[in-house]
Amino acid sequence: MEKSLLSIDWDYFIKIRPEWCGSYIENERCLVDIWYKRYIEENIRGINLEKEIYINTNTKRFWNFIKERFNLKKDIEVFISDSHKFSYKIAKDNKCDNIILFDAHSDLGYGGLSSLEFELNCANWLGKLFKDNIINKSTIIYSPYTMEQPNDFSELNSKYNIEYVMNRWDIEYEQFKNSEISAIHICRSGAWSPPWLDKKFYEFIRNSELKVRKLEDITRDWNPKKLTFSDEINYLIG
């Protein structure tokens, strides 16, 4: 039976502003500081980002949908991280043939085939799984909030077996009837998902009612009410 990794990016459920959809290094500045900067800038304009940026209500029925439509391995583990790059190792360790990806980004690599020559990162892990002959196909189920199109990856599409699903998620996936989900990876992608939604992220994980293994520390300090005027200046100019 074919083995699949179900890889879920938390940003799948979040509509963020187009100007925030850049390429970021996953460090403290991009995971925390940049969100304080955005929050303070918008607060000056009279906009409360904590009320403006929220999660899609599909999170409430997502796990029922997954369990109804996919064949989950008995005692399956859910791996948790901030970075999506861990999907590479999880797929390799579990000898997966296929990746089923729920995401706002393809993570195939953003420079054609040449981007697969870079070191493993959150933006190219899926492409590198193909390049290293670890998987032979993938289905990318795009978020309704994605800024991408399948033809953005024409060079990779011509070489690898990649299917895209646009603007729908709660459908029957007949092609996976004979596929076993061997592992599940949920990443937070903190550079693209705001810290005030972290509690919802943990709630989403708990709602899976599955065994969870954390791969890295994902705690973030978010408390804008504690900021001093000096803190705000530092974030704005930092």
For 139-197, write each residue's pLDDT tens digit.
999 999 999 999 999 999 999 999 999 866 666 666 677 789 999 999 999 989 999 99
pLDDT (average), residues 2-20:
91
* Cα–Cα distance measured from residue 72 to residue 14, given in angstroms and rounded to the nearest whole number: 26
Give me the pLDDT at residue 172, please: 65
Contact between residue 91 and residue 184 where contact means Cβ atoms under 8 Å apart: no
pLDDT (average), residues 74-102:
96
Give me the pLDDT at residue 89, please: 98
The pairs formed by 24-33 with CB atoms below 8 angstroms and a separation of 24 or more are 24/191, 24/192, 25/191, 26/82, 26/83, 26/122, 26/190, 26/191, 29/238, 30/190, 30/191, 31/82, 31/190, 31/191, 31/195, 31/220, 32/190, 32/195, 32/220, 32/221, 32/222, 33/235, 33/238
**Angle, CA 149 vertex, CA 178 and CA 57 arms, to 5°:** 70
The token pair that represents 154 in the structure block:
């024409």
Give me the pLDDT at residue 18, please: 80
- Confidence at 23, pLDDT banded by 50, 70, 90: low
Q: Does residue 29 have a pLDDT over 80? A: no
pLDDT (average), residues 54-83:
91
For 30-56, write each residue's pLDDT tens digit.
789 999 999 999 999 999 999 999 888
Contact between residue 98 and residue 135 where contact means Cβ atoms under 8 Å apart: yes
pTM exceeds cut of 0.85: yes
Q: Does residue 237 have a pLDDT over 90? A: no
- Confidence at 108, pLDDT banded by 50, 70, 90: very high
Length of the chain: 238
Q: 98 φ, ψ to 5°?
A: -145, 150
Contact between residue 82 and residue 31 where contact means Cβ atoms under 8 Å apart: yes
pLDDT (average), residues 77-102:
96
Helix (H, G, I), strand (E, B), or coil: what is residue 100? strand
Give me the pLDDT at residue 56, please: 84
Q: Does residue 122 have a pLDDT over 60? A: yes
